[in-house]
Amino acid sequence: MPIELATSACCLPELTRGELFAAASRAGYRGVELFCSWTNSKAELAGEPASRFSGSGVNVSAIHLPGKLDEGLKAVDLAASAGVPQLVAHGNGKPEDAGAWLLPLVREARKRGVQVVVTNHKGQSIETPEHVQSVLEACGDERPFVLLEAGQYWAAGLDASAALRRFRDLVRLVHIKDLDPQGHSVAFGAGVSPWREFLRELARGGYAGRVVVELELKSTPAAEVERLLGEARVKLEACIQ
């Protein structure tokens, strides 16, 4: 499978689920990621009909796990029931303690045919490649896969390409953004992040999964963000073809 571009509710947090699907479709995407909180398109853990996880030719490709174990198990059930293939785990505890706060979710998700990917994020307990490695080691043979958040590595002053080489066999999802010198998300091509080089390396290495395009432009009208997402898709496609 070639690299597939998707986007995220974090780009358009004010939109409802249906509005998000429609905007993503107009921008040329066929997959979106949802959260279980803070956005108007959030996934309800009490359960939703599978029909609510697609629309306008767009499907939900992943859901970000909530912080508590009991809520996380509900999210696993929701993803399995709705046909959402991946769950994203953030740093909800010390990396070395992941056997307690993450492993039960990985085990249950695996039983239900859902893949868990653990992500890095600036300012969270899983920030560096070493933190990711600690999570994997704490989970042993039942370890999760890796979401390589290139933008968050760059924001933290770290080398996303080095992390890619380190975790290449485990990377099942990639997030990418362009950042200005202060670390703020900007339109692709307006920042200083080496996203073109990173994407070319990703493609040369044979990665065959999703790359999620992120634009977190606060106070920017939704229509403008949608336009910029469409432009970003064209630029990224040129790098990975």
pLDDT in tens, the chain (241 residues): 589 999 999 999 999 999 999 999 999 999 999 999 999 999 999 889 999 999 999 999 999 999 999 999 999 999 999 999 999 999 999 999 999 999 999 999 999 999 999 999 999 999 999 999 999 999 999 999 999 999 999 999 999 999 999 999 999 999 999 999 999 999 999 999 999 999 999 999 999 999 999 999 999 999 999 999 999 999 999 999 8
178-179 vs 185-186, strand pairing mode = antiparallel
Domains of the chain: 4-240 (3.20.20.150)
DSSP 8-state assignment for residue 80: H
β-pair partners for 63: 34, 87
Q: What is the pLDDT of residue 145?
A: 98
Q: What is the pLDDT of residue 47?
A: 81
Q: What is the pLDDT of residue 227?
A: 98
Q: What gap in Å lies between CA 203 and CA 199, rounded to an integer?
A: 6
User: What tokens appear for 186 in the block?
Assistant: 């900007």
Phi-psi region for residue 114, left (φ > 0), alpha (ψ -120 to 50) or beta? beta
Phi-psi region for residue 81, left (φ > 0), alpha (ψ -120 to 50) or beta? alpha
